[in-house]
Amino acid sequence: MRPPSVDALSRSLTDVDLPAPLLVEAARIAIANNDPESARTEALKLQRSLLGPAINATGVLLHTNLGRAPLEYRQQAQATNLEFDLATGDRGSRNNHAASLICKLTGAEAALVVNNCSAAVTLVLAALARDRSVAVSRGELVEIGGGFRVPDVMSESGAHLVEVGTTNRTRVADYQAACRLHDTALLLKVHPSNYRISGFTEEASVAELSALGTPVVADLGSGFIDEACQWLRDGKPSWLRDEPAAKQTLEAGAALVTFSCDKLFGGPQAGVIAGRADLVDACSKHPLMRAFRPGALVLSALQQTALAYLRRDGDSIPFWRMAQTPVAQLLARADALSVGHTVNTMSMTGGGSLPGEEIPSAGVQLDGDVSAGLRGAPIPVIARVRDQTTVVDLRTVHPDDDTLVAKAIVSVI
């Protein structure tokens, strides 16, 4: 029996929401496998390989694999004043919009927005320390996700790494020695946001280092903006007690801070350089800035997030709305699902932030590992498996998605 033609088989798949070329590809794969009946399966496999929505039921608020901070943002198809000065009618700067709001939030003289925090650190080092030395504590030579390491970033920027202190103890005198023995352009403090060293430890503070005269750059990573947390109804939560904030770090004497925007800041993927105007200006004029600059969608989403902070409206920032939800509300939602067993559990921030810190939460526990079945739902539900049980943590699930979660659970139990 001859197999059907690729054209005929692909036309039988038109109810799958894919453009014709991809349906043709699915048909060809099925025919090549001598299994024309699998064409629909292949089409659905192609569809699910595309970027699409998912329901984060892991309890990890900033899940890197699920896009970190959830973002509610839409933009109409129209022109913007991205690089147009409305006052003069001349060309403007794309850095004058969201960056000016970051300055208001942090008290920085100037700020610059780039693609991510790694780009921010690389740009700072390339613009301010190429062919010169940068002192970093051995305890802060971190590796972030994907194998990116501070020494490698420094090498690519053209700066020379000078390791000071030891893994667990670094003193001001160690940095002083580096300044005395090397042509030291910067003192770099890297917040170890994805691990923690405890016990017999010591580190030099930003305030102590700023007194040495060499500019201090503090890479804060997580994007916690202000210890006052004026955008939160109940003020600063206990799980943020040891997290350095951009505003207070600059007040302590840092010449620059760098941080991510898609972590505790709760915005789109971007990185910020904020602090002294002369140093920020030098970064903005470096050739790498052209490669690192973000587009209009990112800048507009970042501006929207910054405006929410200035309005002190944490509930309009999805990350902070999730973080603030009372456990009692989560328990009531779990009961309302009427599936599985309602349980108290613990969430975490994730995204390389606040290692070891947990946030009380609640959700539904299912017997056995049914995570694969939940991922197979029309909108995949991503849960966590623990001790041969599957936990659906509702802290990271939007209330509007509860019905979809319930349907997914019913389909697998």
**Mind listing the domains of the chain with CATH numbers?**
55-70+325-412 (3.90.1150.180), 94-316 (3.40.640.10)
Confidence of residue 252 (pLDDT cuts 50, 70, 90): very high
Q: What is the pLDDT of residues 83-102, one digit of tens each?
A: 999 999 999 899 989 999 99
Count of beta carbons in the 10 Å neighbourhood of residue 211: 10
Q: What is the pLDDT of residues 327-366, one digit of tens each?
A: 999 999 999 999 999 999 999 998 777 777 899 999 999 9
Q: Residues 293, 295, 301, 304: is their CA dihedral positive or negative?
A: positive
SS3 306: helix
Q: β-pairing, 389-393 with 384-386?
A: antiparallel
Amino acid, res. 42: E
Q: What is the pLDDT of residues 172-212, one digit of tens each?
A: 999 999 999 999 999 999 987 666 777 777 889 999 999 99
Ranges of beta strands (E only) in 51-183 are: 55-56, 60-62, 110-114, 133-137, 160-164
DSSP string, 237-272: -GGGTT---HHHHHHTT-SEEEEESSSTT-SSS-EE
Among residues 361, 408, 380, 284, the alpha carbon closest in space to that of 65 is found at 380
1 pLDDT more than 70: no
In this structure, the chain runs to a length of 413
147 pLDDT more than 70: no
**CA distances from residue 327 to 281, 337, 340, 366 in whole angstroms, order as listed:** 46, 15, 18, 19
Determine the Cα–Cα distance for residues 106 and 275; give it in Å rounded to an integer: 9
Residues 392-407 have a mean pLDDT of 97
pLDDT at position 59 is: 96
pLDDT at position 221 is: 84
Q: Residues 404, 409, 410, 411: is their CA dihedral positive or negative?
A: positive
pLDDT at position 350 is: 86
Tokens standing for residue 372: 């694969």
Q: What is the pLDDT of residues 359-388, one digit of tens each?
A: 999 999 999 999 999 999 999 999 999 889
**Which residues on neighbouring strands pair with residue 274, listed in sequence order?**
111, 257
Residue with token string 């405006």: 307
Ranges of beta strands (E only) in 115-238 are: 133-137, 160-164, 184-190, 216-221
> Mean pLDDT over all residues of the chain?
93
